[in-house]
A and B are shown apart, each in its own frame.
Chain A
Amino acid sequence: GNSVTQMEGPVTLSEEAFLTINCTYTATGYPSLFWYVQYPGEGLQLLLKATKADDKGSNKGFEATYRKETTSFHLEKGSVQVSDSAVYFCALTGDSSASKIIFGSGTRLSIRP
């Protein structure tokens, strides 16, 4: 079945450091790929998404490129801020009739001032 694997956390970085959070997936067909972010005490919110191979999703300085050849959707940001501290979830939908999302286990990111 479909699944998502993302790097375990926690990840701790200094402010202005470069961020990569790895995500790989297993899916039949052509899934859509997502990154959701969960700030402390809040629900998840969509950060970015990509719907087909080679698409790049971007938002708030974060980027991720849909790589079908490596089944990956790694999240990157060139210069992180303290306000980026949150839990990040990679996710996919592979069933066009159900809109069900399969989430990775989440990666907690902490940014030091």
Chain B
Amino acid sequence: DADVTQTPRNRITKTGKRIMLECSQTKGHDRMYWYRQDPGLGLRLIYYSFDVKDINKGEISDGYSVSRQAQAKFSLSLESAIPNQTALYFCATSDTGTGHADTQYFGPGTRLTVL
């Protein structure tokens, strides 16, 4: 079984709808992240969380919110989806305490299309 899972894998929605993307992990890691990937832009950090009580904005948090329901679960919400939020979204995890050489472990991604 995959260590980092994301649901759904694909979603098509309409402008103005609320969307939630979910991420679960069995790695026992404290740190979780949400990224979006756009062609030619690499990955950009949306939000990150270092434990259940810690939530931090990344470089492109506008229009998004997150919830860390448990150590193993980190969900991303689009309160009112817009077409330029069409992208591939990745969740990732990392362990604590190994410094800035932490490896991040990625889920398979959610492809979101906003019409």
A interface vs B, CB < 8 Å? 4, 31-32, 34, 41-46, 49, 51, 89, 93-96, 98-101, 103-106
Contacts and interface: CB of A to CB of B under 8 A. Distances in A.
B102 A99 contact: yes
A89 B43 contact: yes
A30 to B, nearest CB: 9
Contact of A43 (B4, B99, B102): B4
Nearest to A106: B42
Interface of B: 4, 31, 33, 40-45, 48, 56, 58, 90, 92, 94, 99-109
Contacts of A34: 103
Contact of B101 (A45, A89, A93, A106): A93
Nearest to B97: A99
B104 A105 contact: no
B53 to A, nearest CB: 16
Contacts, number: 62
Nearest to A33: B101
A111 B87 CA distance: 26
A51 B4 CA distance: 25
Nearest to A103: B42
Given A43-B107, A103-B42, A103-B43, A93 B102 contact: yes
Nearest to A92: B100
Contacts of A101: 43, 45, 104
A43 B99 CA distance: 23
B15 to A, nearest CB: 27
16 contacts: A4-B42, A32-B99, A32-B101, A34-B103, A43-B4, A43-B90, A43-B107, A43-B108, A43-B109, A44-B43, A93-B100, A93-B102, A98-B56, A100-B58, A105-B40, A106-B42
A96 B100 contact: yes
A99 B94 contact: yes
- Which 6 residue pairs are nearest across A and B when measured between Cβ atoms? A43-B106, A103-B42, A96-B100, A32-B101, A93-B100, A105-B42
A95 B100 contact: yes
Given A31-B100, A95-B100, A105 B41 contact: yes
A94 B90 contact: no
